Amino acid sequence: MKNYATIIRKSFILLMALSLSIAIISCTGPEGPAGKDGATGTAVCKVCHSDNTFMYAKMMQYDNSQHALGVNFQRNTNTCAPCHTSEGYRETAVTGADTTVATIQNPTTINCRTCHFIHTNFDTTDFNLTFTKTVNLRIGGQMTHDIGKGNLCAKCHQGRPTSPMPVLGGDSVSITSSHWGPHHSPVANMLNGNGAFEYTQGSYASPHLNVPDGCVTCHMATAIGNQAGGHTWRMSTGTTDNVAGCLTCHSGVKSFDINGTQSDVEASLVQLRNTLSTKGWIDTTSSGGEYNMDVVVATSSKPLKLSANQAGALYNYMMIAADRSMGVHNPNYIKTLLTGSINAVSQ
Ligand code: HEC
Ligand code: HEC
Ligand code: HEC
Ligand code: HEC
Ligand code: HEC
Ligand code: HEC
């Protein structure tokens, strides 16, 4: 019986091998007609790559943005990469760390893939945002509000801790760096109402912390060509303020200078700037008139020694200049800081 079974098995294998080779040989006949296109393939791509301009319009706007045009993505070391490179942002959005594990090689600028999951699922969920959590600020901890789609922006546009940081009523400080201050664009702190040197303790959250989706509502409002709004993130064309995002709350306004807030803030900022410059604490000559590019006159070999209250005024100047909204991000906080700072250096 056992032998018989083995013979059957062996002949079966032989038969299979034989019919396989016949099948292969007979394959050399002429090709049949082409089948229909599959459901996947190009159809998947057409969700985005088609003859409509849904995506192209955003690309045009993006091309004219500072995110696209800026050259600072060369800042790719582990402390700078989370905000200055696309790869560093995506890495730290997942890890939650303030630094990347290593320097980013072949860094890319902020692009579609920084904020969206391009070519991941190959459907519209690819336009979901890469970071959506309430931001844990580097200065001051968790933001008091979830600002929706604006969380994405707040993760980068926030201050960095500086050293030494003066404390109200505390010791004098010795500043050793020309870039002392909270770094560029501490906007999330301004909205939150924290991170500056406060001469009077208080609760300073901005009324604009309640704007649904925060930054996105004002900076990505209906676009004016590729000059402002949408994926340009620009507020103004240079001559026209894009007030589209303001109108739901400030009906009928034509400019950002509502009730003269921006004019008043700029006048006070210039007054403070002139005082700090006259004292020789800041260099205003190399910045080409851009307040946010002024630097502190201090080095490790020639430190700048100031009382806590004086250093607070200098810090606030750097912060308000770097915020660049001339009061809009947090009108009352910014005005209060300027008044306190001007008093502190005028004594
Ligand atoms: C959900 C939208 C979406 C789908 C679906 C999609 N793409 Fe794209 N694709 C994009 C975006 C956005 C860009 C621009 C990326 C950039 O400029 O950084 C792009 C760019 C490209 C590029 C230019 C090179 C590059 O990677 O930037 C190629 C090639 C491409 N896509 C091929 C495809 C193919 C093939 C498919 C289908 C298998 C497909 N795409 C499906 C959104 C999509
Ligand atoms: C990955 C970090 C990152 C994210 C996310 C990010 N930004 Fe930026 N943003 C930057 C950097 C860095 C620059 C400056 C680029 C340069 O000059 O090289 C910048 C520039 C800008 C500017 C232009 C400033 C100027 O010089 O005129 C605006 C406005 C702006 N961002 C708003 C936003 C808004 C609104 C969002 C959210 C939708 C956002 N950003 C998301 C890092 C980021
Ligand atoms: C928390 C995020 C963050 C980190 C970390 C960070 N930056 Fe920035 N930086 C920004 C943003 C946002 C801007 C754009 C501000 C604007 O245009 O108003 C910027 C702007 C700059 C600029 C351009 C100023 C100008 O307008 O030309 C330089 C230079 C710069 N950063 C250097 C660095 C260096 C060097 C490091 C690392 C030591 C670093 N940054 C770390 C967020 C960050
Ligand atoms: C700095 C972050 C950022 C970058 C860079 C960015 N986007 Fe966006 N994008 C957003 C945000 C935030 C929204 C939501 C805007 C809103 O709700 O008004 C959005 C919305 C979109 C939408 C609409 C999605 C929908 O469901 O309606 C498309 C399409 C899009 N982006 C394409 C792109 C393309 C293409 C690029 C690259 C050229 C790009 N984005 C780069 C932040 C970004
Ligand atoms: C209530 C509306 C509003 C909100 C919310 C808002 N901004 Fe602004 N932002 C403005 C206005 C107005 C200016 C000043 C524009 C001008 O004077 O030309 C400005 C200025 C800026 C600038 C300086 C460059 C420029 O375009 O003038 C940056 C960078 C910036 N905002 C980023 C942000 C980020 C990031 C957020 C969210 C964390 C945010 N803003 C939230 C209205 C807003
Ligand atoms: C979701 C509602 C909302 C949006 C959107 C909004 N604001 Fe406001 N804004 C407020 C509230 C609330 C106040 C505080 C009450 C007041 O002074 O009217 C305020 C106050 C201000 C102030 C101070 C005015 C004063 O009299 O002291 C300025 C300036 C301002 N907003 C500018 C803007 C600009 C510019 C935009 C658009 C880029 C904008 N706001 C968008 C709600 C909003």
Instruction: Give the ligand whose atoms come closest to the C-alpha of residue 235.
Output: 5
* C-alpha to C-alpha distance for 43 and 39, rounded to whole angstroms: 7
Between 41-45, 161-165, 217-221, 300-304, the lowest mean confidence (pLDDT) is in 41-45
What's the total number of domains in the chain? Answer: 1
CA of 151 to the centre of ligand 4 (A): 14
Residue 298 resides in a domain: yes
CB contact at 8 A, 282 and 316: no
Residue 310 resides in a domain: yes
Report pLDDT digits (tens) over 39-56: 567 889 999 999 999 999
Residue 246 resides in a domain: no
CA of 43 to the centre of ligand 1 (A): 13
Residue 229 resides in a domain: no
Report pLDDT digits (tens) over 141-192: 999 999 999 999 999 999 999 999 999 999 999 999 999 999 999 999 999 9
Nearest atom of ligand 6 to the alpha carbon of 248: 5
Pull the structure tokens for residue 168: 């109200």
Of 192, 217, 216, nearest to 329 by C-alpha is 192
CA angle (126, 127, 133) in 5-degree steps: 105
* C-alpha to C-alpha distance for 197 and 166, rounded to whole angstroms: 8
Domain range for 196? 156-211+255-347
- pLDDT attached to residue 31: 65
Nearest atom of ligand 4 to the alpha carbon of 114: 5
Residue 95 resides in a domain: no
